[in-house]
Every structure is written in C-alpha cells, then in structure tokens.
Amino acid sequence: MRALEEKILKDGRVSGNDILKVDNFLNHQLDIAFLNEIGKEFKERFKDKKIDKILTIEASGIAIASIASQHFGSVPVVFAKKVESKNLDKDVYETKVYSFTKGKEYSVKVSKKYLNKDENILVIDDFLANGRAAIGLKDLVDQSEANLVGIGIVIEKGFQEGRELLETRGVRLESLAILDSIENGKINFRQL
C-alpha cells in the first residue's frame, strides 16, 4: 500500500536495525483518517471472503480492527486480553505468547463466549515480526473450532520469521507494507 509506505517514511522512526516506531499514527497517537484507509485496504484484500468477526490483541490492534470492521459490515471485534483482569470470565481460551521486544512470555485470553465453532474469523494486528502474537491468535481460533480466514497485518518486518511460520501452517497472510530491511536508519520496502 503505497500511501502506507509514504506515511512510514514521513512519520516513522527507526530504532537500531530492527525496530520501527510509528507512535504518531498507529501505536500511541492515532491518525483516524489514515486508519480508515487501512481498513478499506483490508476489505479490498479480503473482499472474496465472508467474515463474521475480527479478532485482534490489545492494545494497538483494537483501534485498527475497530475501524476496519466498519468496512466489513461492522462485524464484531474481539480483542484478546494480555493484561490480567478480575472481570474476565473464568471460561476462557488461553495461549502463551513470547514477546521478543519485551523478552518475556505472557498469557493471552479470550472468553469462550466470543469465539464460536464455525465462525469465520479475520485476525488483524499492527506488526508482524517473529509471528508469535499471530500464532497465539491462531491458536485461540483453533481452540474454539472457528475458521481462521486469514491474517491482516499493517506492517510486516519481512526480515523476521513471522511469514514463514504462518505460511507453513497454511495461513493466508496479507500485509499492507513489508519492510525488507532497516540499514543505518534507512527503511527498504519489499517491491511487490
């Protein structure tokens, strides 16, 4: 998505050779008009599929998925919880996700009420790096016996192993921008 690549070049900040910070439109401040364009593009990529629900993970996925939902007929958005909460149902699907950015494993949960057998689920998230968050979300969908239609990612870091891990599991992956490398502060996009 050309507009996204331009936005990353204009507003993104690089940290070392592997982290891209997009706090001013995606991860902290939210550019709603731009997120709407992202939502439209996800719809275009998955227009051949019936989607009953969108699944994402807190926190950054929530805004992206919510705005995208409006382009899929305002289907419900469910977000997997990372933060321990007393209010969460006891009856949950649960999986473990290792975060390379935080250097620790955490538990991710969704109430069994909100993922149901045979529903068609689209997973949406902000970044794909080593694929652990995406595989965790796939695991939650598999536990519920719903169908994982595909995974939509805003920014994929193509130099990490996420895509390979998902494709070997037969997952359809659509990333709106793919970074091939970050070298000395310069971002190189994959030519599609």
Positions in the binding site for ligand 5GP (CB under 6 A): 19-22, 27, 60, 100-101, 125-134, 157, 162
Task: Give min distance, CB of 17 to ligand 5GP, in A.
Answer: 11
By C-beta, is 145 or 183 nearer to ligand 5GP? Answer: 183
Spatial CA neighbour of 59 closest among 27, 23, 29? 27
Task: Give min distance, CB of 132 to ligand 5GP, in A.
Answer: 4
Task: Give min distance, CB of 24 to ligand 5GP, in A.
Answer: 11
By C-beta, is 25 or 93 nearer to ligand 5GP? Answer: 25
d(C-alpha 34, C-alpha 106), whole Å: 31
By C-beta, is 110 or 128 nearer to ligand 5GP? Answer: 128
Spatial CA neighbour of 124 closest among 89, 156, 94, 97? 156
The two three-digit tokens of residue 55, written as one number: 């699944």
Task: Give min distance, CB of 50 to ligand 5GP, in A.
Answer: 26
How many residues are present in the chain?
Answer: 192
CB 111 within 8 Å of CB 91: yes
